[in-house]
Amino acid sequence: RKYPNFTGKFVREMNDWTDGDVEIYMYSNGFLKPNRSDKGKKPKIPLVVHYEKLGLPDGSSQAEVRQAFRRLALQYHPDKNPKDPETAAQKFRIINEANAALQAAFAENGGG
């Protein structure tokens, strides 16, 4: 581990931070958080785009999202695609990001 003495909390907003922001937060033991200004912040991708990446219609349930993610994860996992692991890894990253965004939205809205 790079920061074995880290006793701070891992907070959800860390997903939106740059690698440098995370480094500073970890180095400061959770004391220094990045500036919360909106400049440089990525625009939020509409949820419908994430549903499309998983091949689902907008408004699908949390169970449907999980099922689609698992099916696609098995299909595109780099270990399952030895002939083209780079393309598989790229597709796997895309579906993983879509699943993470949708699961976060379900958590914010009290499940799905």
Write out pLDDT tens, residues 45-88. 889 999 999 999 999 999 999 999 999 999 998 888 889 888 88
For residue 63, give the CATH number of its domain: 1.10.287.110
Please state, in angstroms and rounded to a whole number, the distance separating the CA atoms of residues 24 and 11: 14
- Top mean pLDDT of 9-13, 35-39, 43-47, 85-89 is at 85-89
State whether 55 and 97 are in the same domain.
yes
Closest CA to 54 of 96, 107, 100, 95: 95
- Which range of residues forms the domain containing residue 12? 1-40
State whether 8 and 53 are in the same domain.
no
State whether 52 and 16 are in the same domain.
no
**Residue 40 pLDDT exceeds 70:** no
State whether 22 and 61 are in the same domain.
no
State whether 71 and 104 are in the same domain.
yes
Please state, in angstroms and rounded to a whole number, the distance separating the CA atoms of residues 65 and 67: 5
